[in-house]
Amino acid sequence: MPRTDFGPPDYREMIPPIVRDNYGRWRYHTIPRPGVLEHVSDTGAVLTSVRMASPRLVSTDWVRAVCELADKFCDGHLRFTTRHNVEFLVSDPSRVEPLLDELEARGELVGGVGPGISNVVHTQGWIHCKSAVTDASGLVKCIMDELYDYFTGKIAVPARLRIAVACCVNMCGACHCSDIAVVGIHRTVPRVNHEMVSKSCEIPSTVASCPTGAIRPNPKLKSVEIIPEKCMYCGNCAAVCPAIDIMDPANDGLSIWVGGKVSNARTAPKFSRLAIPYLPNHPPRWPEVTEAVKHLVEVWRDRAKPGERMGEWIDRVGWERFFQLSGIPFTDKHIDDFTHATTTFRCTTQFRF
C-alpha cells in the first residue's frame, strides 16, 4: 500500500531565510514603484517583492524559466499570490533593479500592487471544463490586453479594481464579489435525452437538484421533464444528470456584473450586481465583452473619488445614475426575481432622476 495522507510540503521549508527570520515581525510596507512592495521588519530587514503577471495556465518551461530568475535574484525562492501573480522575493536590495531590468527585457509585465487592476481570477473554460459556456483564459487574455496599463500602473485609477471571469453560473472562482465580473450564461431550457436518463441518471436526485422545482418525474418514459416556465437555466440538473444537456452555442453568452468587493475596508463586502444581461460569446477576441469591460472601467475611473471602489462609487451616486452614466439600458432582467429578491427592492423615496 502506497503512502497516503502525508499532506503538502511544509511551508517552513519553502520560505526564504529573510521571511523565516522576520516571520510575524513585519512593521510596515511601502510601494516604491508600481508592482514593487517593500516590507520593513522590526529587525530592520527589508524585503522587496516584485510582482509579475502570469497567464496562470503555464507550461513547465515557463515554470523553469521563472525558477531561473528566482535562482539568479532571490536565492531560489518565490511565491504566487492569491490572484495568480508571481512574486520574486528579493532580500538583497542591489538585486532589485537588475531583476526589474531583466523582466522588462523579457517582456514581462510588473504590476498588480495597490490601486489598479491586478490579475484576473478565473475558471477553467474550454481548456478543461465540461460545463463551460466560454473560454476563461481567452477572455482574460483579451480583457487584460486592453487593460494592462492599469496593471502596470501607467494609468492611475481611484482604487483597486478586481476583475473575475467565470465560464458558467457555477462561478467556480466565486467571482460574485468582484468589481467587475464576466459570467457565462445559458438562456434556454435544457434538453432531456429520455433514453439516456433511465440508463445514466438517478431520477429523484435529478428532480431534487432543481432550485425552482422545474423538474418532475415522467414515469411513462422512466425519465424526467422540465417545466419551461420555471427553469432559470442554472444547469444544476445537467451537473447531476449527464442525459440533460444545457449547452446551446447559438444562445449561450456572457453577462457582466459590477460593484462587488470582499474587503471590509470602509464598507462591508458586497455582491456584484447585474449590469449587462447578455453579450454574445465571440472568440477568439470577444470584442463586445472587452469593449464593455473597458467602458465600465473608464466610467468608474473618471468619476469615482480617490479610494472609492466601483461598488462604493455606485452606492454614492445611485444605481439610477450608474445606468445613466454608463449608458447601459435598465431592463426587466435587472430586477431580481430569485430567492432573496425582495431584499433588493427600494423602500425609500430617496432617489435621483
Q: Site residues for other proteins, window 32-51 (CB under 8 A)?
A: 39, 47, 49
Number of residues in contact with other proteins, rule: CB under 8 A? 118
Burial 127-154 (b: 16+ CB within 10 A, else e): eebebbbbbbbbbbbbbbeebeebbbbe
Query: Do residues 64 and 78 make contact, with C-beta atoms less than 8 angstroms apart?
Result: no
For other proteins, the closer CB: 98 or 329: 98
For other proteins, the binding residue among 84, 95, 186, 309 (CB under 8 A) is 84
- Binding of other proteins by 264 (CB under 8 A): yes
Query: Do residues 84 and 123 make contact, with C-beta atoms less than 8 angstroms apart?
Result: no
- Binding of other proteins by 91 (CB under 8 A): no
Q: Which three cell numbers stand for residue 108?
A: 514581462
Closest C-alpha among 72, 33, 27, 66 to residue 49: 33
- Binding of other proteins by 78 (CB under 8 A): yes
User: Which stretch in 21-29, 216-224, 295-303, 319-327 sits in contact with other proteins by CB under 8 A?
Assistant: 21-29
Report in angstroms how near the CB of residue 129 gets to other proteins at its nearest. Answer: 7
Report in angstroms how near the CB of residue 266 gets to other proteins at its nearest. Answer: 5
- Binding of other proteins by 198 (CB under 8 A): no
- Angle ∠(110,112,116) on CA atoms, nearest 5: 125
For other proteins, the binding residue among 101, 127, 198, 199 (CB under 8 A) is 127
Burial of 254 (0-12, 13-18, 19+ CB in 10 A): buried
- Angle ∠(294,297,301) on CA atoms, nearest 5: 140
Report in angstroms how near the CB of residue 322 gets to other proteins at its nearest. Answer: 20
For other proteins, the closer CB: 76 or 329: 76
H or E stretch at 181: strand 180-185
User: Which stretch in 79-87, 93-101, 187-195, 296-304 sits in contact with other proteins by CB under 8 A?
Assistant: 79-87
- Site residues for other proteins, 156-185, by CB under 8 A, read 166, 169-174, 176-177
